[in-house]
Amino acid sequence: MADHNSDLSTRNQEVLRAVVNTFIETGDPVGSRTLSKKIPTHLSPATIRNIMGDLAEAGFLTKPHASAGRLPTDLGYRVFVDDLMNVHEVTPEEQESIRRSYANRIVQLEQVVTQASRILSKLTHQAGIVLLPGKDQLFFRHIQFIRMSTENVLVVIVSKSGVVQNRVVPIEEDLNQEELDRISRFLNDEYGGLSLREVRSRILKRMGEERDHLDMLYRRAEELSRRAFLGDEDDVGDTLFVEGASRVFTHPDFAGDFEKLQTLYAAFEEKGKLISLLDGFLDSPDVTVLIGAENDIDGMSDCSVVARSYFLGTRPLGTIGIIGPKRMRYDRMVSLVEWTAAAVSHYISHGDTGIDPK
């Protein structure tokens, strides 16, 4: 990404910082007279007006019609986020709220990150988002079949990282619990340590092989594992968790514009695109901020995304973050998302909350 900030003088940086901070605070176009009271260095309104004109010409500010004030563009926000915003320290109260959301009562990874996302949404007043581990990130640890009736079995699949998947599958013949336990032990020995995607691949391969030589246990295990692992291959609903979308829809920047709300609502429904977006953050250990059109999703050009990967040890599992209007407190959003992702990673990896995540 080009270093647009390197071309800005100190005075121009100061004015741009003040414009963005003031607009985030008020939501109104910012005029030179207002800025002259906010900038520490004494600059006259006329000087500020000239600098704002230069910033607008360079693409950092824009001027809405019928207004003397200026607004930051996506580029203006980008320079602000990369170089000009202050650092927000996550308060002890905010830290405790995040810890308390999952500590001492949750053992499954899915619950840890979704509960953390809920409190992140409340703290930021934005939509909280979580990308749960995909089948390449989840490694098979244990499967258990539990008899529910003569026609249905409950399947519990547990990954090494603690994600638990439950589903009810139909059975063609009645099996007692002892037989189901034997099949569970067989599959745990057969597939232990493989990723869920590898498990699915092996099952598919075996389906195409000659099965006449298989004994009864093997056949029943194959049939049950096929039903357990091969369902919902393209179901993305369980992969993406969104909390508090209404907080974005009711934000003043959207609430009065029905057309904008419609397109934004449609964007939130495009889970496949959101998953692809968040999946692109997995390889980075740092917070990623996408501003406006940078997110490349129709209907979200007036939104920004702040997200970071969470880890099991050094292995990225998924992404946690927020979506909100471009007019947001980026310093606070970045710090809260960063701290939450680090806290979740520490808890998943070490099982405690006693050490501040770094």
Contacts of 57 (CB under 8 A, 6+ apart): none
CA-wise closest residue to 275 among 247, 246, 303, 297: 297
- Per-residue pLDDT reduced to its tens digit, 72-87: 999 999 999 999 998 8
Both 98 and 218 in one domain: the answer is: no
Alpha-carbon distance 297 to 272, whole Å?
11
Both 112 and 168 in one domain: the answer is: no
Both 61 and 115 in one domain: the answer is: no
Helices 216-229/196-207 angle, 10° precision: 130
The answer as to whether 12 is a domain residue is yes
Average pLDDT over residues 287-305: 91
CATH of the domain at 244: 3.30.450.40
Both 145 and 128 in one domain: the answer is: no
Average pLDDT over residues 260-284: 85
Burial of 146 (0-12, 13-18, 19+ CB in 10 A): middle
What average pLDDT does the structure give for the chain?
83
The answer as to whether 357 is a domain residue is no
pLDDT at 253: 86
Statement: residue 236 has pLDDT above 50: no
Q: Which residue has the tokens 């980026």?
A: 330
- At 343, is the pLDDT very low, low, confident or very high (cuts 50, 70, 90)? very high
pLDDT at 69: 87
- For the chain, how many structural domains are there in total? 3
Statement: residue 270 has pLDDT above 50: yes
DSSP state at residue 139? B
Residue 346's identity, in one-letter code, is H
Both 206 and 157 in one domain: the answer is: yes
pLDDT at 237: 43
Both 126 and 271 in one domain: the answer is: yes
Statement: residue 67 has pLDDT above 50: yes
Q: For the whole model, what pTM was predicted?
A: 0.75
The answer as to whether 234 is a domain residue is no
The answer as to whether 356 is a domain residue is no
Both 106 and 175 in one domain: the answer is: no
- Per-residue pLDDT reduced to its tens digit, 181-228: 988 888 888 888 887 777 877 777 776 665 555 567 777 787 787 777
Residue 284: CB atoms within 10 Å:
13
- Out of 191, 207, 229, a domain closes at 229
Statement: residue 1 has pLDDT above 50: no
The answer as to whether 358 is a domain residue is no
Give me the domain span that covers residue 216: 140-229
